[in-house]
Structure 1
Amino acid sequence: MTSTLAIVGAGGAGAAAAYALRDDPVDVTVFEKSRGVCGRAATRRKDDCIYEYGANYLKDDDERVTELVTETLPSDGLVDVEAPIYAFERDGDVGEGRDSDEHKWTYESGITQLAKRLFAAADATVHNGVRVETLDRDAGGWRVFDAEGTDRGHYDALLLTPPAPQTADLLGEAAWDHDDCRDLRQTVASVPYRTVVSGMLHYPFELDVPWYAAVNTDKAHDIGWLAREECKAGHVPEGESLLLVQMNEPWSVANYDAHPDRILDEIAQRTARLLGDDRLTDPDWTDHQHWRYAQPEDTVDRDALAPAADHDLYFAGDWVASEPRLHAAVRNGLDVGERIGADY
């Protein structure tokens, strides 16, 4: 007998969970509020450029995920960013960072390929542009309603993968009897998140620097991360530069609601000062993204989530994983998907 599972969120964890269930008798339906997949590992295209504006790449810190990406899934167009990551502190002096042999994986057509390839191999139905807002638990499983109040179906089990604050909101709106999980919503809501404003700055020339990215290690500079998309094969035409600049949290929180033109001008000015290049004050085109819940700064107590499985409710994502990274979210999705397969 085939069981049914609803997954809320088509990010790395949700896609990995669906993939893990591909050979199990579980009918998987995925609801994703945005038009694309892969969540905060996101890709855009503009003027012949392809760029990641959230998670920049997939680290090779998990053997199973690395094997999945490099051997099991189609690996055509897989890109390993070979240039190093440098570091800087409050004084803005960019210098060599720690030595690392880690691979930094993405795809020529963008990191969203990770979720696309997982879903292509999974037997799942994905509904984009659907914001799940209300959940109703009964003796037979879960009923899912969207933001318009439309009944999206009844499922034997439910997997929630949005960022912890949004998951906590869903739990707060859910109708279910859960005396043994009374503190569950509070536990989920307590996971701290970092807010990040990202700016993308394009130039008709290529920077002459030896690094792919520079990271602020003391968290005392307005810029937290600066990366060169031209270091990724297939992303930027030759002779051009496209910088992804992610601002540190205090700056991002203070400027979150400012006009985008002012935000991007401020980002360009700070980038020019950091790199000592006045040309960078005048990009020929820009883009931006605000991430209210960019990255968890801690992970949840997974033991506190365990009783929810007795209510056919599961959780996955970077806030549930061993560390708040994309590779860990994918591994967590695989593990949770396998557990669901075993339970049903």
Structure 2
Amino acid sequence: MRIAIVGAGIAGLSCALRLQDAEHDVTLFDKGRGAGGRMSTRRVETSAGNAAFDHGAQYLTARDPAFVAAIDAWAAAGVVARWPAAGDDAWVGTPGMNAIVKHLADQTQVHWQHQVTALRRSDAGWHVELLAPAPLASAAAVDAPVDAVVIAVPAEQAAALLADHDPAMAAQAKACRSSPSWTAMLAFAEPIPITGDIVRHAGIIGWAARNSAKPGRSGPEAWVIQATPGWSTTHLEDSVDSVAERLHAALADQADGPLPTPLHRTAHRWRYARATATDRGALWNAGMRLGAAGDWLLAPRIESAWLSGRLLADQMLAE
């Protein structure tokens, strides 16, 4: 089959690679500028060097044997390493969380900066419609009809794409609401006076980590501070500067002394950070050849997103 996958995160890439192994022709479309999504790593030049922030997912764990084997392969490729500070079973991408997504995307055909706004069916098959005309380099891939479509984006975005074609599937996606997360990123010229590399459940802080202490990192002292879901929801429409200031102050409250002036301070709003998941695993309409995968169909974990994509590919291959 010729298959289009909307979303080149872990779920979409897992599905794509499984289908490619069975010699199907797969093309992925993603609105991002490059590999990462909710596993993004942001890099910023400061006066003390290049600072890096894993401002989405902080680490991953593995329980399913198939995913354990995948992590072992990624470790052998040098794109993951253990991070004991977060737990005995915690792993991180190296030199950033986005290294995992990039490693997988390099094995597939992904069109970045291609935001799919709608799907259309014709006698020839499925067609993807974009927010703007496709660049010449990928125009042929966009215009060509495909036999099947996989939606591998957060539930709220999936619901909009599914609504005109499979209302029941769209309703399941719509029922899986995601909680938001405001995340601040601060860089300092020197280590700050906080014991340990992780702060959990402290006031409005749900999680904070000394990102520069993760394995494979370099550059100045860098902290990622994620607000609690409740605070993020209440302050969802606040300005970036206001949120960065509030989370900076919250981090300072956890320090044993005053914090130096940061070299860099900003914040990022994740509207769809943590899914309220079902136990469906994956969704597949064999008659229409339309499917959906993502962590919202299993659990809000990187492993679950990977497993969901794999489950959907297996259902498609079984057909």
TM-score (norm 2): 0.88
Deviation readout 1:164-186 (Å, 9 max, x if unpaired): 000111123x3x4xxxx543222
CA positional deviation for 1:276:
4.3
SS across alignment from 2:111 = strand
Amino acid at match of 1:300: T
Any idea what SS the aligned residue of 1:330 has? helix
Corresponding residue of 2:190:
205
Alignment partner, residue 64 of structure 1: 66
Contact 1:69 1:75 in 2 (8 A): no
2:292 match: 315
Does structure 1 residue 293 correspond to structure 2 residue 268?
Answer: no
The aligned residue for residue 103 of structure 2 is 117
> How far 1:71 moved relative to its partner?
2.5
Match of 1:330 in 2: 306
Q: CA deviation at 1:46?
A: 1.5
Q: Tell me the residue number matched to 1:169.
A: 160
The alignment's C-alpha RMSD in Å is 2.3
> Given the alignment of the two structures, is residue 228 of structure 1 paired with residue 210 of structure 2, yes or no?
yes
Q: Is the 8 A contact 1:318 1:329 kept in 2?
A: yes
- Residue 25 of structure 2 is matched in structure 1 by 27
After TM superposition, give the deviation of residue 301 of structure 1 in Å: 5.0
1:93 corresponding residue in structure 2: none
Measured against aligned partners, the alpha-carbon deviations of 1:52-86 in whole angstroms (never above 9, x if no partner) come to 10001221233322221223675225321122x4x
Structure 2 match to 1:127: 111
Match of 2:40 among 42, 46, 68: 42
Contact 1:51–1:235 (Cα < 8 Å) also in 2: no
Q: Deviations over 1:139-191 (max 9, x none)?
A: 5531111123776431100000110000111123x3x4xxxx54322221010
Match of 2:227 among 247, 251, 261: 247
After superposing the two structures, state which structure 1 stretch, 222-231 or 43-52, moved more: 43-52
Aligned counterparts of 1:253 and 1:160: Cα–Cα separation in 2: 26
**In 2, are the aligned partners of 1:215 and 1:226 still within 8 Å (CA)?**
yes
Q: Paired residue for 1:103?
A: 90
Report SS of the residue matched to 2:128.
strand
Q: Counterpart amino acid of 1:314?
A: G
Q: Structure 1: how far apart are the matches of 2:193 and 2:248?
A: 17
- Structure 2 equivalent of residue 259 of structure 1: 239
User: Per-residue CA shift, 1:186-223, capped at 9, x if unaligned?
Assistant: 2210102111110001111114555332222xxx8311
Tell me the CA shift for residue 262 of structure 1.
2.0
Instruction: Write the distance in 1 (CA, Å) between the matches of 2:150 and 2:54.
Output: 26
Deviations 1:282-329 (A, max 9, x none): 322113211011110x213528945x23310111111112x1101111
Q: Which amino acid aligns with 1:133?
A: T
Paired residues of 1:44 and 1:51 also in contact (CA < 8 A): yes
Secondary structure of 1:292's counterpart equals strand
Return the offset for 1:224: 1.0
Instruction: Supply the AA of the counterpart residue of 2:187.
Output: H
SS in structure 2 of the partner of residue 275 of structure 1: coil
Amino acid at match of 1:244: V
Query: CA–CA distance in 2 between the matches of 1:304 and 1:29?
Result: 19
Cα distance in 1, alignment partners of residues 133 and 106 from structure 2: 29
Aligned to 1:94: none
Aligned-partner Cα distance in 2 for 1:223–1:152: 46
Q: 1:31 to 1:65 in 2, by over 3 A?
A: same
SS of equivalent residue, structure 1 residue 224: strand
Maintained 8 Å contact 1:171/1:185? yes
Distance in 2 separating the partners of 1:221 and 1:137:
50
Structure 1 pair 303/200, CA: closer, same or farther in 2 (3 Å)? closer
C-alpha contact 1:195 1:249 (8 A) present in aligned 2: yes
2: distance between equivalents of 1:303 and 1:257? 32
| Structure 1 counterpart of 2:88, one-letter code | D
2:251 maps to: 271
Residue of structure 2 equivalent to 1:92 = none
Aligned pairs, number: 308
Q: Deviations over 1:114-149 (max 9, x none)?
A: 12222333xx32111111011113455311111237
Is this contact kept in 2: 1:50–1:234, CA < 8 A?
Answer: no
Distance 1:341 1:304 in 2: 13
Displacement after TM superposition at 1:244 (Å)? 0.4
Offset at residue 31 of structure 1 (A):
0.4
What is the CA–CA distance in structure 2 between the aligned matches of 1:37 and 1:303, rounded to whole Å?
Answer: 24
